[in-house]
Amino acid sequence: MRKQNKIVLWPVYFDSTKTRLEGRRVPKSLATPSPELEEIRKAVERVGLRPEIVTDATHPSSPWQKTGLVAIPKKGSKAKILREIAKELLNIRR
């Protein structure tokens, strides 16, 4: 799902049970086990961005699992945004 001026966030990006090879994009110290779309949505809102949820989307590396995705406006580098959201996910889980 290609979106202009949007960054697509898949739950696997923040999943501590996955390796970098399997799709995790944040350091293991910032990752959480099996994050849900609702948690990611809350973290995105806490960072100050407006999330758009797509529940029936499948990650390209696992087309048999409908994990969903969160699309957010592109503001800065994707790596920086991912780290900010990962930190908020940790705060939500605590």
CATH of the domain at 36: 3.30.56.30
The answer to the question of residue 1 being in a domain is no
The answer to the question of residue 84 being in a domain is yes
The answer to the question of residue 59 being in a domain is yes
- pTM, to two decimals: 0.91
Residue 1 has pLDDT above 60, yes or no: no
Nearest-Å Rg of the Cα atoms of the chain is 12
Q: Is 78 left (phi over 0), alpha (psi -120 to 50) or beta?
A: alpha
The answer to the question of residue 31 being in a domain is yes
Summarised one tens digit per residue, pLDDT across range 45-85 is 999 999 999 999 998 889 999 999 999 999 989 999 999 99
Q: CA-CA distance, 7 to 90, in Å (whole number)? A: 21
Closest CA to 23 of 55, 54, 72, 67: 67
Structure confidence at residue 20 (pLDDT): 96
Host domain of residue 42: 6-93
Q: Give the count of domains, the chain.
A: 1
The answer to the question of residue 73 being in a domain is yes
